[in-house]
Every structure is written in C-alpha cells, then in structure tokens.
Structure 1
C-alpha cells in the first residue's frame, strides 16, 4: 500500500467516523421553569446539559418547558428523553407514559423539602381555619407544593377551595410570595426552598411572610428518563454515574447547578409514593 492509498484510507475512515457522529440522535433534555424566565433558566442548566453530553458521548439539547404538566406531556409524546422536573410532574409523566426517575436532586445535601401555606402578619390569619372567605393563590396545576399537596390537605380538612375562598388564582411561586407579602392576596401555597431563597436574595422580607401550615417531607425534583431509554440499563447506569459526579465537581465547577443545590443521589419510583398517594386521593390520578 502506497503512502497515498494509506492516506486516502485514513481519510475515508475519518469521514466515516465524522458522519457516524453527526448521525447520533441528540438527547432532548427538558427542564422545568425553575428560574424567573426562560432565558435565565436555559443559561442556568446549560452547564449540566454540557456535562451530560460529555459523559454520555452524545449531544444533549436543552429545552425549558413552561409548566410541569407540559414537561410530563413532552416525555409522553417523545419530545423529551431526559427531564429534570418537579415531583408531581414526574408522577404525572410516570402515570401517563411510564417515565422513570433515576436520580433525585439534593438541596443543601438533602433529598427532601416541604410544602407550606403562607400569609402576612397583618392579615389576621392565624391558622388554616381563618382562611374561609379569603383570597388564596395556588401554583400551576402541575406543581407539587403549589397545588397537589395543599389541595390534598384541604380535602382532608373537608375544604372545597372553590367554595371556601372568596377568590382562587393560580400563578408562579415567586409571584405568590411577592403578592402575599404585599397584602395583595391573603394567603397562598409555596415551598420552603423558594421562600428561603427569596428572603436571602432580598426579594421579600422575612417578617412579611408567615407560615401557618407545613407538610410532611416531600422528595425533591426528579431526574427522569423516557420509558424507552429506561429499558437501556447500560445507559441508565452511565447517566446515574454522570449525575453522581456533579456533587464533587461543584467544588471546581459551581455553575453546574444553581446555588444551594449540591448534587444528585440514585433514586427510583418508590421515593415518590407520597406524591402518587396524594394524586390518587384527590382523584387527579386514576389507579392503573
């Protein structure tokens, strides 16, 4: 074989490898709207997408989805392969399309958080019993702490929100805190991480946000995969390993996750049983 033919053979091999790489189907990574706007959300989670792409050896396309319900539907219809989503959104995706959680995100080292009902000190509301005839804000209907868990709590108390409150609205978590502390809404549903972060950032004053109810511990956001990907056990193992690396890497690459998030731990469907139970109890989920 001459030098030229060896060179030509090498060129063909290189072109073939580049062509094969170009044909690798990108993994579509859906992320809920955790940040105030889509642009900031994309910027926040792009480093994680890049990390996963490097570790998995495949392109990863990041896509912010506005609502938990929307993200659950995108996993069901094939628009999303991987997703970082709220617990209730995950349970919806599991119910609708057999999406499966592989890891749970850690916040300050913990895999759990709390739903709560908040008001402001000048409202005269001391307990949930005082909410009758008042205005109340839920999060969107795909939110765990903003909708499902407080709705389940109200049902156990015999409270029908449509009849119990003078007005019910659905909005985003930050808006709930802002409007409640400003006295524009009497009370609303939120979660401890959002309240703590807004206080730390100076967006609300702690003395203007009063907790009158708190839930049992709930599992943090789920990193889930589609039913098809979950069947590839070798891929799932590589993905879990890549996510487990994030915590140690935060020491040198702090932008891999938003502030106070400290990594991932392996998880499975059993961890989200409290959310599933609430969905079944409220009738939003139907038994399979």
Structure 2
C-alpha cells in the first residue's frame, strides 16, 4: 500500500514538473507576410513579440510564415501557439483545429477593411465585367481579400475564373500591385490597406493603379490561439489585456506596430461570421 502511495506521489510530482516546464516554454508567435520580405516582416513585428513577452512573463519567439494558408496550418497543427493572421486564415484554423480568436487588429482605429480589385488606368477596364478574356491574379488560397472574397463575388456574378479569364495566377499581394502598375497583369485582387501602404512607401505610384471594385467591410486580421492554449482561461485573459493595452503602449513606443495600426480590440468568433459564410457559399469551407 505504501509503495503504491509513493508511486502516486511520484507520478503527481512528475506531472507538476512537466506542467511547470510547459508553462515556462517559449510561446511561438506566427505572423503572416505583411511586409515585402521576411527580414523586414520579422523586424517589423519583433517589437510586438518583445512586448507580449514582457506582459505575459514568457519568452515569445517570432516566426514569419510566408503564406496565409501556411500560417493557418501551423496554428492548426501545433507549430504555432499564437497567430496574427488574415480573417480567412483564421476561419480555416478554427474549422480545422478549433483555434480561437481573442482580438482583432485596429487600422486607423477601425477593426475592418476592404477587399479591392485593381487595374492600370490605361487598361480599358472599368468594372469586373470588363475582365472577360483578360489576365487576373488572386492572392494565395489562404487570403481573404486576395482569394476568398473576390472568388465569392465572381460566383454571385456567374463567373468561373478558369474559363472567364485568359489566364489566372496566384501570387502575393505586393506582386499583384506591382505587376498591375507595370502593365504586365491586366487586373488582380488586393486589399485597401496594402495598396495604400505601397503607395505611401513609394513602391507603386497612385496614378498607375485604379480600383474597379470594392467589397463590403471585412473584419480585420485576427490574433488567434491554439485550441490547447485557449483552454487556459487565465492565460487568455492576460493575453487579451496585453493586446488591448497596445493602444496606450504605442504612445511611448510608436514602433510597436507598423504605421496606421493603432492597437487591438477584443473580439470573438462571431465577428468573423461573414468570412465563414463566404467560405461555405464557395464550397472552400466544408460543414463538419
């Protein structure tokens, strides 16, 4: 009996040690490729990782994932604990592995943005119906504004991209804008925040890019945690407090977020319902 009791005590002690080790393990923060290249993206979001590390009392390791689809998968398969990812990527991670949103990023104080379609002003294209027989580029298939939302729009118009356009490409948002301004590509899908940022940074010229379509408001990028981490309610509460405190922290540390990003606001899964509905309507999201 005493031997059995000792084994139970030892087993409990091992579990406590393992729990403590897990609590001290670094948190892996995955961030989508918001900037033109990985090095710049890492440099841009490292201050946020350091801020979260200080507020949460745990080391936060930053990793840039170069596609929205890849980031959603990394959050789903446990390679990432916390992800800053696009709305569609979040919905995919939620559907596949129960990842849960805890906050939405604010851009100029707003939690929403717009999907757009762009062309060169001299292309002769003024609206989506003028695109028949032209070249068109989507973003990667994990992108909200670059893929899901324009695909949903085309579906409502009876447009099948593979037969409607002379050529369909899938590439990065920055490449779409650049190739449109160069006249290499007739048109493509993007989002207003990216276009505005590229103009501000001098990467493209405003007079060489024209918007021919704009979506309804879309929920901004989500900060989501893995299902395992979400089960730790005390941690989630601390994380939400840290994120909603970013707006105040920006006053002392302006480089905490990129230009125009003004903090985070707490949001739940319901806020991303329009994205989920579009996924279901296009058949790219399956009902479980």
Indicate whether the TM-score tops 0.5: yes
Task: Give unpaired runs (5+ residues) of structure 2.
Answer: 1-19
Structure 1 partner of 2:154: 154
Aligned residues: CA RMSD: 1.2
| Residues 130 and 50 (structure 1), Cα distance of their counterparts in 2 relative to 1, 3 Å cut | same
User: How does 1:192-207 map onto structure 2 within 5 Å?
Assistant: 192-207=192-207
Following the alignment from structure 2 to structure 1, what is the Cα–Cα distance between the partners of residues 41 and 190? 20
Following the alignment from structure 1 to structure 2, what is the Cα–Cα distance between the partners of residues 144 and 236? 25
Offset, 1:185:
0.5
Task: Give unpaired runs (5+ residues) of structure 1.
Answer: 1-19
How many residues were matched structurally?
269
Q: Where does structure 1 differ by over 4 angstroms across 4 or more consecutive aligned residues?
A: 20-23
User: How does 1:75-224 map onto structure 2 within 5 Å?
Assistant: 75-224=75-224
Following the alignment from structure 1 to structure 2, what is the Cα–Cα distance between the partners of residues 58 and 142? 30
SS of the equivalent of 1:61 reads strand
Following the alignment from structure 1 to structure 2, what is the Cα–Cα distance between the partners of residues 224 and 246? 16
| Deviation sequence 1:235-268 (CA, Å, 0-9, x none) | 1110000001111111110111011100000000
Structure 2 partner of 1:15: none
Structure 2 partner of 1:225: 225
1:34 equivalent in alignment to 2:28: no
SS of the equivalent of 1:47 reads helix
Structure 2 partner of 1:74: 74
TM-score (structure 1 length as normaliser): 0.91
Structure 1 partner of 2:17: none
SS of the equivalent of 2:122 reads helix
Structure 1 partner of 2:64: 64
User: How does 1:260-275 map onto structure 2 within 5 Å?
Assistant: 260-275=260-275
Offset, 1:22:
10
Offset, 1:203:
1.6
Offset, 1:23:
7.8
Following the alignment from structure 2 to structure 1, what is the Cα–Cα distance between the partners of residues 249 and 283? 42
TM-score (structure 2 length as normaliser): 0.91
More displaced, 141-150 or 39-48? 39-48
